[in-house]
A and B are shown apart, each in its own frame.
Chain A
Amino acid sequence: MGKLVIDDLTKVFGPVTAVKQVSLTVGDGELVSVVGPSGCGKTTLLRMIAGFAEPTSGRIMIDGDVLFDSAGMTPPLPPEKRDIGMVFQSYAVWPHMNVFRNVAYPLRIRRLDRKAIADKVGAALRLVHLTGFEKRMAYEMSGGQQQRVALARALVMEPRLLLLDEPFSNLDAKLSAEMCGELLEIRKKTGITIVHVTHDQAEAMSVSDRVAVMRDGVLLQYDTPRNVYGVPANTFTASFIGEANIFPAERTGREADGKMEVCLPGGRKIFVPFREGKKEGFVLVRPGGFVPVSDGGEAFPVKEIRFFGDSVRYELDGGELGTLHMSAPPDAPYKEGESVPLRIRDALWLDS
Chain B
Amino acid sequence: MNVKKNKNAGIPVPAIVWWVTVAFLLAAVVYPMTVLIANSFRAQGTASFDNYRRLFSDPSIRKSLLNSLRVVVPSTVLSTALGVFCAWAVVRTNVPGRKLFSRILAIPYFIPPFIGAISWTFLLGPKGILNRVLMDIFRLSEAPIDIYTIGGMIFVMSVYRFAVPFIVVMPTMKRISASMEEAARISGATPLRAMLDITLPLLLPSILGSMLLVFLFILSDFGVSAVLGAPNRIRLVTTEIFYLINRPDLPDHLQIASAYAMLLTVFALGGLYVYRRILKGSRYAVVRGESGGLAPASLPGAAKWGLFAALCVIFLVTTMAPVAAACVTALTKTWGIPFSAENATLANFTGLAAIRNISRAFRNSLLLAFLSALIITAVTLIVSYMAVRKKARGVAGVRIMEIMVTLPYALPGTIIALGMILAFARPLPYIGISIYGTFSILLIAYVARFLNLGYNNITGAISQIDTSLEEAARMAGAGEVRTFRDIVIPLLLPSLGGTMLLVIAPTISEISLSSLLWSVRNETIGTVIYSAMEEGRILREAALAVLLILLVVIVNFAAHSITERKDRYGKTGDR
Interface size class of A (residues with CB under 8 A): 20 to 34
**What chain B residues lie within 8 Å of A79 (beta carbons)?**
182, 185-186
Q: Which residues of B contact A110 (CB under 8 A)?
A: 188
Q: Are the CB atoms of A94 and B182 closer together than 8 Å?
A: no
Q: Does A18 contact B (CB under 8 A)?
A: no
Give chain B nearest CB distance to A104 CB in angstroms.
10
Measured between beta carbons, the chain B residues less than 8 angstroms from A86 are 182-183, 186
Interfacial chain B residues near A255, Cβ < 8 Å: none
Could you tell me if A90 and B188 are in contact, using CB atoms closer than 8 angstroms?
no
Which of A52, A88, A96, A138 is in CB contact (< 8 Å) with B201?
A96
Q: How far is the CB of B193 from chain A (nearest CB, A)?
A: 7
Interface of A is mostly: mixed
Q: Is the interface of B mostly helix, strand, loop or mixed?
A: helix
The proximity string for B residues 173-209 relative to A, scoring 1 for CB distances below 8 Å and 0 otherwise, is 0000101101111111111010001100110000000
The reply on A32 being an interface residue by CB < 8 A is no
Report Cα–Cα, A86/B180, bound state, in Å.
12
Give the Cβ gap from A27 to chain B, nearest Cβ, in Å.
Answer: 22
CB-defined contacts of B249 to chain A, threshold 8 Å: none
Q: Which residues on the A side are within 8 Å of B193 (C-beta)?
A: 109
Contact B189 A84 (CB under 8 A): no
Q: Is A105 an interface residue (CB 8 A)?
A: yes
The smallest beta-carbon distance between A158 and chain B, in angstroms, is 12
What B residues does A139 contact at CB under 8 A?
A: 283-284
B290 and A90 within 8 A (CB): yes
**Per-residue 0/1 for B287-317: is the Cβ within 8 Å of any A Cβ (1 yes, 0 no)?**
1111100000000000000000000000000
Contact of A50 with B by CB under 8 A? yes
- Report the bound CA distance from A254 to B198 in whole Å: 68
Mask: chain A, 81-93; 1 = CB below 8 Å from B; 0 = not: 1101110111010
Chain B: interface size category: 20 to 34
**A80 x B185 contact (CB < 8 A):** yes
By the criterion CB–CB under 8 Å, are B190 and A94 in contact?
A: no
Do A109 and B283 touch across chains, with their CB atoms under 8 A apart? Answer: no
Measured CA separation A139–B290 after assembly (Å): 16
Is B284 a contact of A153 with CB atoms below 8 Å?
A: no
Least Cβ distance of A139 to chain B in Å?
A: 5
A153 to B184, CA, bound (A): 10
Known interface pairs A109-B193, A138-B284, A139-B284. Does A88 touch B185 (Cβ–Cβ under 8 Å)?
Answer: no
A265 contacts the other chain (Cβ, under 8 Å)? no
* A334 CA / B372 CA spacing, docked (Å): 75
CB <8 Å contact, A157 and B188: yes
Q: What's the Cα separation between A220 and B191 when bound, in Å?
A: 36
Provide the bound-state CA to CA distance between A78 and B187, in Å. Answer: 11
Specify which chain B residues have a CB less than 8 angstroms from the CB of A82 in the assembled complex.
Answer: 186
Confirm or deny: A297 has a beta carbon within 8 angstroms of a beta carbon on chain B: no
Answer yes or no: A76 CB below 8 A from chain B CBs: no
Are B290 and A80 in contact, CB atoms less than 8 angstroms apart? Answer: no
Measured in the bound complex, the distance between the Cα atoms of B183 and A94 in whole Å is 9
CB within 8 Å of B: which A133-162 residues: 137-139, 150, 153-154, 157
Which among B182, B189, B190 is the interface contact of A92 at CB below 8 angstroms?
Answer: B182
Q: Determine whether the beta carbon of B184 is less than 8 Å from that of A84.
A: no
Which chain A positions have C-beta within 8 A of B179? 88-90, 92
B291 touches A80 (CB 8 A): no
Which single residue of chain A is at the shortest CB-CB distance from B197?
A: A105
A-chain residues with CB within 8 Å of residue B290 when the two chains form the complex: 89-90
Closest partner residue, chain B, to A86 (CB atom)? B186
Q: Is the CB of B287 within 8 A of A153?
A: no
Tell me which of A85, A90, A138 contacts B186 (CB under 8 A). Answer: A85
Check A109/B202 contact, CB under 8 A, given A90-B177, A139-B283: no
CB proximity of B397 to chain A, nearest CB, Å: 28
Cα-based distance from A106 to B190 in the complex (angstroms): 11
27 contacts between A and B (CB under 8 A): A50-B182, A51-B185, A52-B182, A79-B186, A86-B183, A88-B179, A88-B182, A88-B183, A90-B177, A90-B179, A92-B179, A92-B180, A92-B182, A92-B183, A94-B198, A94-B202, A95-B202, A95-B287, A96-B201, A105-B184, A105-B187, A106-B187, A109-B187, A109-B188, A109-B189, A139-B284, A153-B183
Q: Footprint of A on B, CB under 8 Å?
A: 177, 179-180, 182-191, 193, 197-198, 201-202, 283-284, 287-291
Q: Name the 4 nearest CB pairs between A and B, nearest first.
A: A95-B284, A106-B187, A92-B179, A92-B183
| 4 extra A-B contacts, CB within 8 A, seeds A79-B186, A139-B283 | A80-B187, A92-B183, A105-B197, A110-B188
